[in-house]
Amino acid sequence: MSIYKLNIKKNNETISLEEFKDKVLLIVNVASKCGFTSQYDGLQKLKDKYSDKDFEILAFPCNQFGSQEPGNNEEIQNFCSDRFGVSFPVMDKIDVNGSNTAPIYQHLKSQKPGLLGSEGIKWNFTKFLVDKTGKVLDRYAPQTTPEKLEEYIEKLL
């Protein structure tokens, strides 16, 4: 299945991933109260640097790791814009693991399993890099900062 056949939600409105066709995507599960939350700064710098070059970041808040994203969608949006000046799309809160896993994460995990073939997301700020054709190219651990992905993104643009 193509990633472009999937839908996501922002502000309770359905968005087709078809809208992001022909763009390099960095897809990240995020949380406001995580030790990695400061990565919002690095993500925004990537967005600023490459926004005119068919690049987009899609952030998916998730409360499955240490209850580090307790807010509702509006609170999360406000936090991201007020604290980090985020201009990339922050979607509605989802599950990335378990029986209620959002379809986009079912797809991402099946295309790029983690360590030893495990599909489960281990923590907040796991990142997936998707090329302009919708192919999931790589999966990066939370410890991999956005800055470390810049060279890979540049090669795809």
What are 92-115's pLDDT values in tens digits? 999 999 999 999 999 999 999 877
Per-residue pLDDT, 137 = 96
Per-residue pLDDT, 20 = 96
- The yes-or-no answer on residue 34 being catalytic is yes
What are 32-81's pLDDT values in tens digits? 999 989 999 999 999 999 989 999 999 999 999 999 999 999 999 999 99
For the CA atoms of 24, 17, 5, 95, the dihedral, rounded to the nearest 10 degrees, stands at 100
**What would the two tokens of residue 74 be?**
């509006």
Per-residue pLDDT, 130 = 97
Find out if CATH 1.20.1730.10 is the number for domain 3-156: no
What are 122-132's pLDDT values in tens digits? 999 999 999 99
In the set 3, 31, 34, 46, the catalytic residue is 34
Whether the pLDDT of residue 116 is over 70: the answer is no
